[in-house]
Structure 1
Amino acid sequence: MKLNIPKHIRMIIDRLIQEGYEAYIVGGSIRDMLLGKVPNDYDIATDATPDRIKDIFSDFKMVDIGKRFGTIMVIHREGEVEITTFRRDGEYVNGRRPEGVFFSNSIEEDLARRDFTINAIAYNEEYGMVDPYSGRTDLQNRIIRTVGCPKKRFAEDYLRILRAVRFSTQLGFTIDGNTYEACKEYREGILKVSMERIVDEFFKIILSKIPSKGIKLLEDIGILKMLLPEIIPTIGFKQKNPHHTMDVYNHTLCVLDNTPPIIHVRLAALFHDIGKPHTLTLDQDGVGHFYDHEKVGAAISRKILRRFKVSNDLINRVYMLVREHMNHHSKFGEKGIKRLIRRVGKEEIFHLLVLQKADITCSNEKASIAHILDREAKIRSILNEREAFDINQLDITGDDLMRLGFKEGPIIGRILEYLLELVMQNPKLNYNKILTEKALEKFPIE
């Protein structure tokens, strides 16, 4: 079988071979090519040492991204390429990483240290395919299987359990039975893995085409309750409301699958109703209501994401979407819509609408998003017409007001807020001369 290798990758492999070394495309690059996909990047394995790699490619800019682990990045105009010396791992002592990494001269030995059979394939045009663990067969059968004994593989690095879930979710593959049982048996080991590594894999899972599959796998394996204990009360939680046909958990997974693969939008979808089990009340007819669940859910999402050690920017984006997701019930006039754009931001307003559409669509078969589409059209009109919804869009500034004789201080902010209210009501007032007159009329200078 011959694969279509990009010219710059073939050049790197050929140069290494000409210098007397072996060189192969390995790992996810080969996996993706065999699946008919174009790899995002290419990894090359060789028996050349890092110092020799640097000598051989001295005419290229290089980055030493892990020399002691044998990895040198060659910066080619067609893309960055990681070249790694064949390796074998020392003993794993803490379920996270080996005590040492040793260079090898055997591609088979290098492939033996990899996690799953579908990632333990190597290829070059001279030697063809090196597949000692039948990775191609597992690709054809759509199976995720560890290289060697799954218990040993997971005991080496417990993160591999999450990686099994991630590859199964991303590729739509089934996890091999023995591998799956080992996932369950060794799940507690996840607690030994750093939060940063866990979150990296978890985010890849929820950015998959059908993220609900990954969440259900995590639930069944028993990792979801460790990673996201806050979501467990939603499982099987009946909403007792005629507008909702699913329990909170399955509704949440539906919303998750129906939002775009943007990390803060997917997280907001996952957390948007997480406050419902804490806010259920029944009216006299036994109908369930969840007053302020969006506020409770926003607070819970912030707590979770702080535990995940993500950026404040991501926390704030998710918090805002969760807190605002119920405002589609509010009947905003034009000024109300402008206040909403100001509060949410013109960058995030359409993400909010996408979340709201998914939320409504997943409520019941007869649910309509017509009012969301109407609001979306109004928002686009406001933005296209460049109508003011924030102070910095006014045709008057704080400096202008101080030149009129107003003193620096809170009064400036009060005047600008007053003028913004007028302009949001009537965009034709947004001219410096008119705003100056309105300011002096409402706030006469003594």
Structure 2
Amino acid sequence: MEWNIPEYVDRIIDKLEANGYSGYIVGGSVRDILIGREPSDFDITTDALPDEIEEVFKEYKTLEVGKQFGTIVVVQEEGIVEVTTFRADGEYVDGRRPERVYFSKNIIDDLSRRDFTINSMAYNKKAGLIDYFQGKEDLKKRQIKTVGDPKERFSEDYLRIMRALRFASQLEFSIEESTFQACKLYSEYILNISIERIREEFFKILLCKTPSNGIRLMKDTGMLSIVLPEIMDTVRFNQHTPHHDKDVFEHILCVLDNTDPILELRLTALLHDIGKPHTLTIDENGIGHFYNHDKVGAKIAEKILKRLKASNELIETVSLLIYKHMTQHDNLGEKGLKRLLAIMGEERIFTLLELNKADRLCSNKDANIQDLIEREEKIKRIIENKEVYEKKQLTINGHDVIKLGYKEGKKIGEILNYLLEKVLENPELNDKEKLIEIIKEKFKASE
């Protein structure tokens, strides 16, 4: 096969070799090339020690990020490359990291410390592919398998369990049986890992092409009940309604797979119906209802995302989208759409509509989204025509009202809210002189 390695990466290997050292691309970049994917970045491993790497590249800009672990970042105009000394790990004592890292002159030491066979291959033009652990064979089998004993690999670093699930989901691979059983055996120890590291792997699973695969793997290994226990209540939860042909969990996974890989959208899809198990009521006809599950779900989602230490902006966006996801069933006229647009904003409104479409399509085989498509067109028209939907778009502001003789405070807000209502009803009123006349007719000026 042809190894299309960028010139700026080859340049680093060539320079190492010219100075008497070896250099290989390693890990994910080798894996991706073998399966025909474009590597997102390139890492190089070498027998040169960190100080020796710096000496070789003294004419380049280098960064000492991770130097104590053997990594020197070489900066070139075309891109940055991490160059790392061959390493062997000392004893793992806490299920997170080795007590010590030893530098080595043997590439086998470096490859044997890696997590999965598909990530333990190296390559350069002279040596060709170095594959001591049959990673290429596992790529052909489309399976995730640990390097060596899976129990030993996972007990060294429990985050590797989440990484196994993530790689299986990203690559649409299976997990080799002994590796899978070890995932189940050690999943309870995942909380030994910082929540930030867990969150990053979890979010990567959500952004996969078919994220439901990763969520199912999390459920089957016991990881979901630890990382996201709230969602376990939705598994096999009967909705008792003719409007849904799936249980809540299966509906959630369908919505998840039918949304674009945008983090806030995927998180909302995963959590949008998480309030349903807490709000089910059955009427006299045996039909299930979930009154206020949107509001309950928004609060649960906020709690989950705070636990995951997500950003405040992400928490706010996801909570709002869940809180408003049932507006798809409201018969909103022009005024109602403008109110919704004012609440959501011009970006979030379309995220909400994407969620609404997926939510509707995943309810039952007869679902129709024509009304949502029409709603989207109306909202686009409102925006394109620059129609007023919030106070800051009025041709008059608080300072103008104060100049008319009204005192600062609640009165100003009351006046502007009233004007907005009038303009929402009749857009032609958004003229400064007309609005001043309305103020004079409706409100008494302060003395």
TM bracket (short chain)? over 0.9
1:234 Cα deviation from its structure 2 partner: 0.7
Query: Percent identity between the aligned chains?
Result: 55
1:59 Cα deviation from its structure 2 partner: 2.7
Secondary structure of the residue aligned to 1:345 is: helix
Aligned residue for 2:167? Answer: 167
Aligned residue for 1:392? Answer: 392
Between stretches 406-415 and 223-232, larger displacement belongs to 406-415
Whole-angstrom CA distance in 1 between matches of 2:285 and 2:136: 59
1:310 Cα deviation from its structure 2 partner: 1.0
Whole-angstrom CA distance in 1 between matches of 2:287 and 2:124: 65
Q: Deviations over 1:113-150 (max 9, x none)?
A: 00000000101112111111011111111010000111
- What is the identity, as a one-letter code, of the residue corresponding to 1:347? E
Whole-angstrom CA distance in 1 between matches of 2:53 and 2:352: 49
Whole-angstrom CA distance in 1 between matches of 2:290 and 2:36: 47
Instruction: Tell me, yes or no, if structure 1 residue 114 matches structure 2 residue 123.
Output: no
Whole-angstrom CA distance in 1 between matches of 2:39 and 2:361: 34
1:24 touches 1:45 (CA, 8 Å); kept in 2? Answer: yes
Whole-angstrom CA distance in 1 between matches of 2:226 and 2:266: 20
1:417 Cα deviation from its structure 2 partner: 1.3
Whole-angstrom CA distance in 2 between matches of 1:74 and 1:427: 59
1:65 Cα deviation from its structure 2 partner: 1.5
Q: Deviations over 1:66-122 (max 9, x none)?
A: 110111222221122111111111100011110011111111110010000000010
1:133 touches 1:147 (CA, 8 Å); kept in 2? Answer: yes
1:231 touches 1:274 (CA, 8 Å); kept in 2? Answer: yes
1:207 touches 1:262 (CA, 8 Å); kept in 2? Answer: yes
Aligned residue for 1:79? Answer: 79
Aligned residue for 1:271? Answer: 271
Secondary structure of the residue aligned to 2:291 is: coil
Whole-angstrom CA distance in 2 between matches of 1:24 and 1:136: 16
Query: Where does the alignment leave 5 or more consecutive residues of structure 2 unmatched?
Result: none
Whole-angstrom CA distance in 2 between matches of 1:428 and 1:145: 67
Secondary structure of the residue aligned to 2:65 is: strand
Whole-angstrom CA distance in 2 between matches of 1:144 and 1:202: 17
Whole-angstrom CA distance in 2 between matches of 1:414 and 1:91: 68
Aligned residue for 1:407? Answer: 407
Task: Write the mapping of 1:138-149 to structure 2, written as runs, cut at 5 A.
Answer: 138-149=138-149
Aligned residue for 2:292? Answer: 292
Task: Write the mapping of 1:235-314 to structure 2, written as runs, cut at 5 A.
Answer: 235-314=235-314
Whole-angstrom CA distance in 2 between matches of 1:356 and 1:164: 32
Task: Write the mapping of 1:126-205 to structure 2, written as runs, cut at 5 A.
Answer: 126-205=126-205
Between stretches 424-433 and 176-185, larger displacement belongs to 424-433
Aligned residue for 2:14? Answer: 14
TM normalised by structure 2 equals 0.98
1:431 Cα deviation from its structure 2 partner: 2.0
Instruction: Tell me, yes or no, if structure 1 residue 215 matches structure 2 residue 215.
Output: yes
Whole-angstrom CA distance in 2 between matches of 1:68 and 1:287: 63
Count of equivalent residues:
446
Instruction: Tell me, yes or no, if structure 1 residue 343 matches structure 2 residue 339.
Output: no
Q: Deviations over 1:241-297 (max 9, x none)?
A: 000000001001000111111111111111111111111111111111111111111
Whole-angstrom CA distance in 1 between matches of 2:54 and 2:248: 56
Secondary structure of the residue aligned to 2:94 is: coil
1:86 touches 1:107 (CA, 8 Å); kept in 2? Answer: yes
Whole-angstrom CA distance in 1 between matches of 2:350 and 2:73: 39
Secondary structure of the residue aligned to 1:347 is: helix
TM normalised by structure 1 equals 0.98
Q: Deviations over 1:18-41 (max 9, x none)?
A: 111111111111111111111111
Aligned residue for 1:362? Answer: 362
Instruction: Tell me, yes or no, if structure 1 residue 29 matches structure 2 residue 18.
Output: no
Whole-angstrom CA distance in 1 between matches of 2:404 and 2:377: 39
Q: Deviations over 1:377-417 (max 9, x none)?
A: 11000001111111111111212222222222222111111
Whole-angstrom CA distance in 1 between matches of 2:438 and 2:255: 47
Secondary structure of the residue aligned to 1:65 is: coil
Secondary structure of the residue aligned to 1:25 is: strand
1:243 touches 1:363 (CA, 8 Å); kept in 2? Answer: yes
Query: Where does the alignment leave 5 or more consecutive residues of structure 1 unmatched?
Result: none
Whole-angstrom CA distance in 1 between matches of 2:437 and 2:57: 70
1:234 touches 1:274 (CA, 8 Å); kept in 2? Answer: yes
Whole-angstrom CA distance in 1 between matches of 2:84 and 2:103: 10
1:191 Cα deviation from its structure 2 partner: 2.0
Aligned-pair RMSD on alpha carbons? Answer: 1.1
Secondary structure of the residue aligned to 1:40 is: coil
1:153 Cα deviation from its structure 2 partner: 0.3
1:442 Cα deviation from its structure 2 partner: 1.7
Q: Deviations over 1:311-370 (max 9, x none)?
A: 111111110111111011111111110110111111100000000101110000001111
Secondary structure of the residue aligned to 2:164 is: helix
Whole-angstrom CA distance in 2 between matches of 1:390 and 1:79: 45
Whole-angstrom CA distance in 2 between matches of 1:104 and 1:425: 75
- What is the identity, as a one-letter code, of the residue corresponding to 2:420? L
Taking structure 1 as reference, are residues 61 and 428 closer, same or farther at Cα in structure 2, changes over 3 Å only? Answer: farther
Whole-angstrom CA distance in 1 between matches of 2:425 and 2:52: 70
Secondary structure of the residue aligned to 1:326 is: helix
Whole-angstrom CA distance in 1 between matches of 2:245 and 2:2: 51
Whole-angstrom CA distance in 1 between matches of 2:61 and 2:392: 45
- What is the identity, as a one-letter code, of the residue corresponding to 2:315? I
Whole-angstrom CA distance in 2 between matches of 1:83 and 1:436: 68
- What is the identity, as a one-letter code, of the residue corresponding to 2:193? V
- What is the identity, as a one-letter code, of the residue corresponding to 1:229? P
1:2 touches 1:125 (CA, 8 Å); kept in 2? Answer: no
1:89 touches 1:113 (CA, 8 Å); kept in 2? Answer: yes
Secondary structure of the residue aligned to 2:190 is: helix
1:440 Cα deviation from its structure 2 partner: 2.2
Whole-angstrom CA distance in 2 between matches of 1:64 and 1:203: 29
- What is the identity, as a one-letter code, of the residue corresponding to 2:349? I
